[in-house]
Homo-oligomer: A and B are copies of this chain.
Amino acid sequence: MKKVAIGIDIGGTNTVFGVVDEMGQVLVKNDIPTPKHGDVDRYITDLSAGVQEMIESVKQLSSDIEILGIGIGAPNGNYYSGTIEYAPNLSFKGVVPLVELVKKRFDLPVIALTNDANAAAIGEMVYGGAKGMKNFVMITLGTGLGSGIVVNGDLVYGHDGFAGEIGHTIVVPNGRSCGCGTPGHLEAYCSAPGIKRTAFELLAHYNGGDSELTKYTFDELNSKIVFEAAERGDKIAIEAFQRTGKLLGRALADTVHHLSPEAIFLFGGPTAAGDYIFKPTKESMEEYLLPIFANKVRILPSELKSGSAAIVGASALVWNEINK
């Protein structure tokens, strides 16, 4: 009997789902659009049909399969209550009792929900580079900056299920505007759009500075283009990553001063820039750490594959519940 778990990741645009084995291999996957219409019941019906169809297809591959449960990652997903609460990027209003709704459709031992960054942290612990680690932090760099914190081998949900919002800690008092409304947050600087914003600040500061980035509109530029320019030696692109790493490292020093983790994993598009982002982050973190923490905390790239990480992370919730 091959044991598998289903992972569902609810994103602003698409909902992706897959069947994942104990090694973190995705056996089959599929997706549906995340609706803009805000009708939860219709969405659950569509999602359930999609997942059911996927289950049938995997059972055709092998009859010897046992499905242990469904793990779901979603913005503002609350592990304790199983609800999605006031998610700014989803069309559903208020509090959605997602786990309860999914339980009505599937009779499985485990059906669990958390937010996408927490799911990624559990994925790293179950399948990735954090195997065997008891204290680590996962940072996901994308449209925003998400985080998942593991202490004593358990994900930190906090009192209300919403712990791990490191992206909304302040790095520059009264600094850049953040999507949440409070200025100066880490994710306004250290995220894919944050890198672009830094590049634009530098273009303004250096009056273009002979950079190839002068050719792009704000709408066109993205962190991948900045990385490619950095690889060609573009000074403004390189400095954009240096500044991003400098602020990220300083913020991570604050996190270390809270939690003293063994390692901090970075995940997401901007990490493809490798040393351009990892090196200044590590150097800056070390600069701001108390001597007792010096050279103790590793900053590592996530070992989750970028294409399937969302599904794999969500599915890891199931293994994590079973192994508790």
CB-based contact A160/B296 at 8 Å: yes
Q: Is A76 on the interface with B (CB-CB < 8 A)?
A: yes
Given contacts A169-B254, A170-B250, A250-B170, contact A260 B158 (CB under 8 A): yes
The number of residues on chain A lying at the interface, defined by a beta carbon within 8 Å of a beta carbon of chain B, is 45
Interface of chain A residues 283 through 297 with chain B (CB within 8 A): 288, 290-293, 296-297
A262 touches B159 (CB 8 A): yes
Complex contact B260–A163 (CB within 8 A): yes
* A164 interface hit (Cβ, 8 Å): yes
| Interface residue A180 (Cβ < 8 Å from any Cβ of B) | yes
* CB contact list, A154-180 vs B, under 8 A: 154, 156-166, 168-173, 180
Residues of B close to A253: CB separation below 8 A? 169-170
Q: Is A63 an interface residue (CB 8 A)?
A: no
Copies of this protein in the complex: 2
Is there contact, CB below 8 Å, between A169 and B257? yes
B160 to A258, Cβ gap below 8 A? no
Q: Which residues of B are found within 8 Å of A158, using beta-carbon distances?
A: 135, 151, 259-261
| A85: chain B residues within 8 A (beta carbon) | 292
- A134 part of interface (Cβ distance < 8 Å): yes
Distance from A86 Cβ to chain B, minimum over Cβ atoms (Å): 7
Q: Specify the chain B residue showing the minimal Cβ separation from A182.
A: B288
Q: Is A126 an interface residue (CB 8 A)?
A: no
Contact residues of A between 3 and 28, Cβ < 8 Å to B: none
CB-based nearest B residue for A161: B260
The answer to whether A156 touches B162, judged by C-beta atoms less than 8 angstroms apart, is no
* Chain B nearest Cβ from A271, distance in angstroms: 21
Report Cα–Cα, A272/B163, bound state, in Å. Answer: 30
A146 to chain B, nearest CB (A): 12
B162 near A293: Cβ-Cβ < 8 Å = yes
Q: Bound complex: CA of A254 vs CA of B164, how far in Å?
A: 10
Identify which of B154, B171, B172, B260 contacts A152 (C-beta below 8 A): B154
Whether, in the assembled complex, A320 has its beta carbon less than 8 Å from a beta carbon of chain B, the answer is no
Asked, given contacts A170-B288, A182-B288, A292-B76, whether A159 binds B254 with beta carbons under 8 Å apart, the answer is no
Bits for A237-264, please: 1 = Cβ < 8 Å to B, else 0.
0000000000000100111011111100
Whether A260 and B160, one on each chain, are in contact in the complex, defined by CB atoms closer than 8 angstroms, is: yes
Q: How far is the CA of A303 from the CA of B158 in the complex (A)?
A: 22
Q: Contact at B292–A170, with CB atoms within 8 Å?
A: no
Flag whether A54 is at the interface (Cβ < 8 A).
no
Choice from B157, B182, B255, B292 contacting A260 with Cβ under 8 Å: B157
Seen from chain A, the residues whose Cβ lies within 8 Å of a Cβ on chain B are 76, 85-86, 134-135, 149, 151-152, 154, 156-166, 168-173, 180, 182, 250, 253-255, 257-262, 288, 290-293, 296-297
In the A-B complex, the 10 residue pairs with the closest CB atoms: A158-B260, A163-B260, A159-B262, A169-B254, A165-B257, A135-B159, A168-B257, A151-B151, A169-B257, A162-B260
Q: Can you list 6 pairs linking A and B with CB atoms under 8 Å apart?
A: A149-B258, A152-B154, A159-B296, A163-B259, A170-B250, A170-B253
